[in-house]
A and B are shown apart, each in its own frame.
Chain A
Amino acid sequence: MNLPPSTPPGARGRVLSRGSGKEVAADRLARREFLAALARAGAGSAALTALPAWAKQALAAAAPAPVAELIVRNDWPEHWETAIHALGGSWLTPNERFFVRSHFPVPEIDPVTWRLEVSGLVRQPLTFTLEEFGNLPKTDATYVLECAGNGRGLMRLPNTSGTQWGRGAVGNARWRGVPLADLLRRAEPSADARHVWFEAADQAPVPGPPPFLRSLPIEKAMDDVLLADRMNGAPLPRLHGAPLRAIVPGWFGMASTKWLTRVRVEAEPSDNHFMVRGYRYVVPGGDPATSSPVEEIRVKSVITRPLEGTRVKLTGPKPPFTRIQVRGIAWAGPAGLKLVEVSIDDGATWRPAGFTGESEPMSWRMWATEVEAKGLRKVTICARATDLAGNQQPQAAEINGAGYGNNSIHKVTVSVSP
C-alpha cells in the first residue's frame, strides 16, 4: 500500500499552526493575553464560535493557565487526563474535565443518516434512527470509567508503548441510556449467540490500521451494559462518543465503545487486533493470544488531598493542631468496594477511612480521614482500597509489557507546616 506524503488528514490546529509566519502582525504577548482571556470566558461564550481562524489556532498555544485541570498527553487522537487536583472535587466528574482516550479521530456523524443496528444471530434484527432511539425507555446510572492504561507512566517500564498516563485517566459520570438487555431481548438472540460485537463509526485516517472493534460475552451484555446518549445531564459530547456509546460497568474503558453504530450478535468473540493482541496482560516475552484479556477494573484508590510535594497545615479540634486532613476517591470492579485504609508508616499499620457522599454500584466513592502527624516534619501518606471479593491494592502492581491495570498503592509525601 502506498500512502501520499501529504499533510496528515487527521492533523489539526495545534501541530500545524505553531510557528506559522502568515499570522496577522500583532504583539505576541498582547495576543496571548487576549487569547487567555477568551479561554477563561469558558465554553458557553458565543464569542468563541465567531473567533477568527488565527485566534482559534493560536488559542491552543496561549499561555498555560495557572491551574491545569486537564493534562494533554496526546493532542490527536485525543488522550487527555484529569489532573489529580481536579479529581474528586465532586462525586461526578464534570464533562469538561473527564478524561478522553480515542484511538482514531472523532468521526463526523450525520444525525439524519445515523442508525443503530442490532443484527447478527438474532431472529428480529432492529434498526433505530436517532429519534427512534431517543423515544426508547431510558435508565440512569452512575459508573466509574477508567482507562486500562491509567497509571502506565508510573510503572516506569522500559520499552513500553502508548500513552504514559498518570493517575487521572479515570472519571465518574451519570449516564443515561437504554439497557442493552432490553434491545437484545427484543431482537431475540438465537440459541448459538454467545458474544456481542460493538461496531463504531471511528476509523483510522489511512486505510491500513484495523478498526477499533471490541466484543463482550453475551452474559455481560445482558447484565448491566447501557447504550448511553447522555452524560451528567447533558447530551453525550462528541469526544465521549456522541451520539451513542456503550457503557460497560465494572470493565476498563476500552470496553465502552464510543460512536456506536451496530450491535452484532455472534457465536465467537471478535478477533480484532484490539481483542487478541491489544488489551492483554502479557508478561515480558509472552504471547498476547494466550495471555489473559484486560476486562474488569481493579480495586484502586487515589489521594486527591493533600497533593504530592505540598506543605500542609495541621488541623484538629483545638490547638496544638496535630492532624492532616486526607481525602480521596476509590473504586472497584463488579465485586464492589469494601474499604479504604490509610497508613503513614509505609504500610506497617493501617487505619480505615470513612466514605463520604453518594454511592451506587460500580461508581466511585469519595473518602476522607485524618492522620496524626504530631512531631513530624515530613509525612508519606499511603491509601489502600480493598474490594468485597478480598482483592487489595498491592504495593507494586504486577508488571505486564503494555502497562495495563496499574493499581499500585498511591503514596503522597508532604511537608508539615508547624
Chain B
Amino acid sequence: MSARRLAALVIVGSVLAVAAASLAARGARESTARAAAEPAGGGGEISPDLVPKKIAYATELPDSAGRDSVARDIAKRWCLLCHSAMLITQQAKDSAAWEKTLGQMAKWGVAATPGERDTLRAYLVRYFGPR
C-alpha cells in the first residue's frame, strides 16, 4: 500500500471515529426525544436500519455440511429473483404444498427443468417441512 493511500485511510478512519463518538452521544438524546414526541412524521424515507428491529427468520438458505449446494443454488437462481430467503425459511410445508408453490412459480416464469424442480422440492421439504 502506498504512503498516500495509507494517509488517506488514516484520515477517513479518524473522521469516522469522531463521527461515531458524537453520534453515540446524540443518539442517546434523540432516541429519548423521539419516544416522547409521538406521533413522529416519518418523512419520505423509512428504513428498518434506523429503527430497533428484530430479524424474525434465517436470512440465508441452509446447506448443512455442504451437501445441498446444488439444491441451494437452484433456489437462489430462481426463488431469490423475486423475494428474499426469509419468505422460504419461515415456512413449514409438506411435499404436496411445496409442489403447489413450485407450480404457481412455474406459471409465473420459473423455468426450472423437471429434474431441478424435484431437487428443489426435496430440499425445501428437508429443511422447511411440517414441524
- Identify the A interface with B (CB < 8 A): 1-3, 5, 8-11, 14-15, 18, 34, 37-45, 47-48, 52, 55, 59-60, 62, 64-80, 83, 89-90, 92-98, 100, 104, 158-161, 163-164, 174, 204-210, 231-240, 242
Sorted nearest first, the 6 A-B pairs with minimum C-beta distance are: A208-B109, A95-B42, A234-B41, A65-B52, A40-B27, A68-B54
Using an 8 Å CB-CB cutoff, how does the interface string of B43-64 with A read, 1 for contact, 0 for none? 1111111111111110110000
B-side contacts of A100, CB under 8 Å:
46
**CB of A100 to closest CB in B, whole Å:** 8
B-side contacts of A5, CB under 8 Å:
77
Contact present for A237 and B83 (CB under 8 Å): no
Question: Which of A43, A77, A206, A237 is the most central at the interface, judged by chain B CB atoms within 10 Å of its CB?
Answer: A43
A-side contacts of B12, CB under 8 Å:
52
Contact present for A92 and B51 (CB under 8 Å): no
B-side contacts of A236, CB under 8 Å:
44
* Interface check B82, CB cutoff 8 A: yes
Cα-based distance from A68 to B49 in the complex (angstroms): 11
Contact present for A94 and B39 (CB under 8 Å): yes
Contact present for A92 and B55 (CB under 8 Å): no
A-side contacts of B83, CB under 8 Å:
10, 74, 76-77
A-side contacts of B41, CB under 8 Å:
95, 232-234
Using an 8 Å CB-CB cutoff, how does the interface string of B82-119 with A read, 1 for contact, 0 for none? 11111100111110110001000001111100000000
B-side contacts of A104, CB under 8 Å:
82
Contact present for A71 and B23 (CB under 8 Å): no
28 A–B pairs (Cβ distance < 8 Å), ordered by A: A2-B111, A8-B80, A39-B49, A44-B30, A52-B16, A55-B16, A64-B55, A65-B53, A68-B52, A70-B52, A71-B53, A72-B48, A72-B53, A73-B56, A73-B86, A74-B84, A79-B87, A93-B39, A94-B42, A96-B51, A158-B93, A159-B130, A161-B101, A205-B82, A206-B108, A210-B108, A235-B44, A240-B46
* Interface check B4, CB cutoff 8 A: no
A-side contacts of B44, CB under 8 Å:
234-238, 242
Contact present for A74 and B86 (CB under 8 Å): yes
Main secondary structure of the interface of A (DSSP, over half): loop
Query: Which residue of B19, B31, B91, B96 is within 8 Å of A40 (Cβ)?
Result: B31
Write the chain A residue with the least CB distance to B9: A24
Total A-B contacts with CB atoms under 8 angstroms apart:
213
Write the chain B residue with the least CB distance to A100: B46
A-side contacts of B110, CB under 8 Å:
3, 208
A-side contacts of B19, CB under 8 Å:
47
* Interface check B20, CB cutoff 8 A: yes
Q: A75-B86, A238-B44 are in contact. Are A232 and B51 (CB under 8 A)?
A: no
Contact present for B91 and A161 (CB under 8 Å): yes
A-side contacts of B38, CB under 8 Å:
89-90, 92, 94
Query: Which residue of B23, B42, B60 is within 8 Å of A41 (Cβ)?
Result: B23
Cα-based distance from A236 to B65 in the complex (angstroms): 46
Cα-based distance from A28 to B20 in the complex (angstroms): 15
Cα-based distance from A10 to B108 in the complex (angstroms): 16
**CB of A154 to closest CB in B, whole Å:** 13
Contact present for A239 and B46 (CB under 8 Å): yes
Query: Which residue of B50, B55, B130 is within 8 Å of A42 (Cβ)?
Result: B50
Write the chain B residue with the least CB distance to A161: B101
Cα-based distance from A204 to B81 in the complex (angstroms): 9
B-side contacts of A207, CB under 8 Å:
109
Contact present for A41 and B87 (CB under 8 Å): no
Cα-based distance from A117 to B31 in the complex (angstroms): 41
**CB of A411 to closest CB in B, whole Å:** 21
**CB of A305 to closest CB in B, whole Å:** 16
Contact present for A39 and B50 (CB under 8 Å): yes
Cα-based distance from A2 to B52 in the complex (angstroms): 40
